[in-house]
A and B are shown apart, each in its own frame.
Chain A
C-alpha cells in the first residue's frame, strides 16, 4: 500500500517534468534564428527545398486576433487564413519569402491577396495536383522544380543535389522521431498530456530543424530512460489501463491551446489523429533509391502522405480512416473543423455514413480559430463522452 503511494508521488513528479516542454525544448525556444526564414502554410509544402536553399521553413500559425485581415476577406472565410494574413500584415518582415499552395479556394485567394497587398516580400504558389498517379507525380515534380527555382533566386545560387539529399535526410529524421513520439503519446496518455504533445508538434513546424531535432532527441532519450526503470518505480510506458474511451480526432488546421487543455482534463484517450497540425505533417518518409530521381521521390512522398480532404479521392481517404479506427480500437470520433473549410465540410456526409455503418459515434464540431469558446464546446464533448 505505502509502496503505491510513493510510486504515485514519483509518477506525478516525473509526469510534471515530462510535460515541461519549455524545459526540454529550451534551445529551440530561445535560439535566435541565424538563417533567414521562409513562411509556409500547408503540409503539401516540400520543406526539403526550403532547407536545401539554406533557409528555415517556418509554418505560419497566425494566432493574431483577426481585425485588419477582416477587410480583405469575406465574413465566411477560413479563419486560419484570416489570422495568418493578420500576422503577415503585422510582421511579415521577419520572412524572406512565403510559399503558398494551391490547396483550396481559400488558399488560392490568400495568395492573390498576399501578392497584391504585401509589399516587398515575394510570394510563391506551388501547384499541387489532386490526383495520385504517375502523371500527377511527374507533373508535381515539375512544379517542385519551379519552386526550387524560386528558392534559388532567393538564395542567389543554384541548389545542388547534395543539399537536397541532406535536407531529405534531416526532415526524414524529424518525421521518424515525431512518429516515435506520437506513438508514445497515443499509448501512454497518462504520461504525455495533450497540450504538451501539440506544443511539440507546433515547435516541429516553426523551428530550425537541426536545433529542434537536437532537443527532440534528448527529450525522447529522457522518456526512454524512464521506460528502462519502469519496473522499479512503477512508471509504465505500457498501454494505458484506464478505461477511458479511445478517441480519434479528425480535423484540419486545429491548433487551439484551450481546446487541448480542455480535452486533457476530460475522460478520454486520444489514440489517433488525422490533422494538418500533426500526423498529416510527419507521417511517411521520402524513400530514396539508387536509380530514383530525388525530386521525384520527394513528390511521391507528398502525394502519398496521409491525405488532406482536398485530394481527389475521398474513397481512399475514408478507407484510410476506417483502417486506423479498426487498428487502434477507436470508440468514437471527434470531427473538428475550422469554419468554412469546404473540403472538410463536404467530407462529413460520407464520413458520417461510413462511421454509422461501423457503429462508431462521431461528434461534429466547427470552431473559429484562436477564439475558442469553451463553454459550448465543452458541453458537447462531455455529452458525447458520456454517451460512449
Chain B
C-alpha cells in the first residue's frame, strides 16, 4: 500500500478532528512532506500537494488564529492581507470525495436535514462540519457570486460556532456597472474595517501591497499557462487542470500560488518541447476537449477513458483568468472589480462569451459539460451553452454526474455516454 492509500484508510477509520490534526502534524514535517512530494509524477503536482497540506496544517493548528472560512469565489486576497488564515469548506468537500469520506459526511448532512437535492460540495462540507472535522472559524466571508449555496450553508457554519456577528456576506450585484462597483467596494471596505476593529489591526491600504503584488504575479503566470496551452498538442497523462482550484482561488495573494503556477508552466513547457519532436511521428492528432464546470473528485475513469481514446482536455473553463490586475492603491475597488468580472455571475452571456472564446482559442473539437447534480446555476445554462457551441459546430456532451457523491451516478452509464460522444467526435 502506498503512502496515499495508507493516508486514506487511516483517516477513514479515524474520522475525528484529533486524528486529522495528528496526521497533519506528521505529514507536514518538512522531511516527510518532501518525501511525500516526491511520489508525484511532476513538479506541479508535487507542489500542489505540498502547499495544500501546508495550508491545511496552518488552518488546523491553533497558532495561526484568526481563521477565516471563505467560499470559493470571494477574493481570498482579503484574508491574506488581513492576516487571516483561510479555510475553504468547498475545497474540503472535494477532499472528502478524494479521501473516500463523502459517504460518511453526506450521511451526516442528511441526518441534519440537508436535502439530498442540494449540491454535494456544500452538503459534504456541512456534514464534515457537523462531524466536527473542521477547525473552528473566527470569521466567515462568503458571497452570492455564482450560486446561492455558499451564502446559505456558510451561515449555518456561523450559527454552529456562535459567530453570527463575524459572518459577512458580500452581496455581489448582477450587472457590471459603476454603481455596482461602488456598492460592492463599500461592502468590502466595511468588512475590512469591521474585522480590523476586531483583530486590532490598523486598517491601512499598505497591507494590500504585497498580497496584491503576489496575486498579480499569479495572474500573470496563469495567463502564461493559458497561452502555452493554446498550442499544446498533447499532455502528460497525469496533468489535470481541474486540480488547481485551491491555489487559483484560496491561495491567490500568496507566494506559494506563484511558485506553483510557475511550475505548471515549466512542466507543460518541458513537455511541449519534447513533444514537438514526437508529434510529427504520431499520425492521428488528439481530439481537443473543452471542459466545462468541475469534475468528480473521487476515483473515477473519466479522464483515463478520454486519454486512452486519444482525447485531451485542452482547457477548463474554471481556469480562465477573468479579472484585471489589482491595484493596491484602490484595494476595495480592485477587489470589487475582480468579483464583478467573474463570468459565473450575472447573465449567462458572460459565461458563453468565455466558453466560445476558449473553444476558439484552444481549437476545441468538442465540449464536455459535467453536470454536477444539484448545481442549478451551471446546469441551468446547459441548454444555452450547448446551442451556442452548436452554432460554431462544436458538439457538447452534457455528462450527468456528481463531483462528490460517487453513489449518485453509475460508472457504466457515464462510460457509455462518454464513449458514445467520443464515437461522434471521431465519426
Contact = CB atoms under 8 A, between A and B. Distances in A.
Contacts of B52: none
A345 B374 CA distance: 12
Contacts of B383: 71-73, 113
B376 interface: yes
Given A74-B379, A77-B376, A105-B376, A345 B117 contact: yes
Contacts of B153: 346
B156 A346 contact: yes
Contact of B149 (A115, A142, A346, A349): A346
A349 B380 contact: no
Contacts of B179: 139, 142
A288 interface: no
Contact of A127 (B169, B173, B377): B173
Contact of A102 (B117, B174, B387): B174
A129 interface: yes
Interface stretch (B65-73, B107-115, B328-336, B359-367): B107-115
Nearest to A142: B179
Nearest to B346: A108
Nearest to B381: A109
A349 B156 contact: yes
B342 interface: no
Given A74-B371, A310-B148, A350-B156, A136 B376 contact: no
Interface string A251-269: 0000000000000000000
Contacts of A125: 174, 347
Nearest to B146: A105
Interface in B160-174: 164, 169, 171, 173-174
A130 B151 contact: yes
Interface string B246-281: 000000000000000000000000000000000000
A111 B173 CA distance: 15
B118 interface: yes
Interface stretch (A27-35, A156-164, A233-241, A335-343): A335-343
A312 B187 CA distance: 13
Nearest to B154: A346
A130 B114 contact: no
A347 interface: yes
Contacts of A74: 371, 376, 379-380, 382
A245 interface: no
Interface residues of A, number: 47
B38 interface: no
Interface string A106-139: 1011111101100000000101011100011011
B302 interface: no
Nearest to A335: B113
B285 to A, nearest CB: 34
Interface in A329-376: 339-340, 342-343, 345-350, 352, 364, 366
A105 B377 contact: yes
A342 B147 CA distance: 10
A289 interface: no
B148 A76 contact: no
| Chain B, interface residues (CB within 8 Å), range | 35 or more
Contact of A112 (B183, B347, B373): B347
B169 A312 contact: yes
Interface in B124-171: 126, 144, 147-149, 151-153, 155-156, 159, 164, 169, 171
A116 B384 contact: yes
A74 to B, nearest CB: 4
Interface string B332-363: 00000000000000111100000000000000
A349 B376 contact: no
A183 B200 CA distance: 51
B155 A131 contact: no
B181 to A, nearest CB: 11
Contacts of A115: 347
Nearest to B377: A105
Nearest to B174: A127
Nearest to A110: B380
Nearest to A342: B148
Contacts of A104: 148, 376
Nearest to B167: A315
A314 B171 contact: no
A109 B155 contact: no
B380 A139 contact: no
Given A112-B348, A315-B164, A347-B152, A139 B117 contact: no
A77 B151 contact: no
A76 B374 contact: yes
B376 A342 contact: yes
Nearest to B150: A346
Contact of B377 (A72, A76, A108): A108
Q: Which of A104, A310, A349 has the most CB of B within 10 A?
A: A349
Interface centre among A115, A125, A135 (most CB of B within 10 A): A135
17 contacts: A76-B374, A108-B380, A112-B381, A113-B383, A116-B387, A127-B173, A129-B183, A131-B171, A135-B183, A139-B173, A139-B180, A314-B155, A342-B376, A343-B148, A345-B115, A349-B156, A350-B156
Given A106-B380, A314-B155, A346-B152, 8 more contacts: A71-B383, A76-B379, A109-B380, A112-B381, A116-B384, A131-B187, A312-B169, A343-B148
Query: Which are the 7 A-B pairs with shortest beta-carbon distances?
Result: A109-B380, A346-B152, A112-B348, A127-B174, A74-B379, A105-B376, A105-B377
